Structure 1
Amino acid sequence: MDFKELLKELKGNLLSLMGSKFDELKDESKKDVQAFLNASKEKLERWTTLLAEGNITVSDYKWLVESQKDLVVLKGLYAAGVSKIKLGHLKNSILDTVIETAIGFVKPNKDDDNEATV
């Protein structure tokens, strides 16, 4: 598994998500996405490797990624005046995007694990 390639795909997917919701705040969105990826990189690599090797289930992976919700700070968007409610929904969307992207990257044939649906 090439984690750098996954990270590149994750960043692209997250920037697309942010752009679709906050197109007028591209700079802030970009900084927030990069900050989250920097803060989570080591753990995401470890957990994604464990998932790829079959050492944890998809459910375990989801739980681990969702435990990182506090690392999704979104300081730039908050400073730009985005409401806390919108930011909360965005955090959930970000984590869902991370999970879906990683599972799709690691397990293209989701038949291996009954819990693979995201």
Structure 2
Amino acid sequence: MDIEELLKLLKDELLLVLGESYGDFKKETKADVEVFLTLSKVKIERWTKLLQAGELTVDDYKWLLESQKDVLILNALYQAGVSKLRLGHLKNKIIKTIVNTVITVVI
């Protein structure tokens, strides 16, 4: 597994998810996604290797990713007035997208 390829795939998938509802903020949300992936790169790599090796279950992997929600700051959308509730739902969708993407790549 090449972590750089995985991160690129995750970035592309996350931008699609964000673009579905927030296409007007494409440039800003792209920056937010890049920051999140950069800050989480080491953990995502370690957890993905553990998942691939069978040392983590999918539920464990999801739980670990959910612990990164605080790092996922959708600043552009928050400044645009998107409610905290909608941002919370969007963060959940982002975590789900990451889990589903990783599963299709490594399992």
The structure having more radius of gyration, on CA atoms, is: 1
Q: Which amino acid aligns with 1:82?
A: V
Q: CA RMSD, aligned part only?
A: 0.9
CA deviation after TM superposition for structure 1 residue 82, in Å: 1.4
Structure with the higher helix share, 1 or 2: 2
Query: Which residue is 2:30 aligned to?
Result: 30
| Equivalence map 1:1-118=2 (5 Å) | 1-107=1-107
For residues 28 and 86 of structure 2, the distance between their equivalents in structure 1, rounded to whole angstroms, comes to 15
For residues 21 and 40 of structure 2, the distance between their equivalents in structure 1, rounded to whole angstroms, comes to 22
What count of residue pairs does the alignment treat as equivalent?
107
* Deviation per residue, 1:13-45 (Å, 9 max, x gap): 000000011011111111111111111111000
For residues 84 and 24 of structure 2, the distance between their equivalents in structure 1, rounded to whole angstroms, comes to 18
Q: Which amino acid aligns with 2:17?
A: L
* Deviation per residue, 1:35-73 (Å, 9 max, x gap): 111111110000001111111111211111111111111
Identity among equivalent pairs (%) = 55
SS of 1:50's partner is helix
Task: Identify unmatched segments of 5+ residues in structure 2.
Answer: none
Runs (4+) of structure 1 exceeding 4 A deviation are none
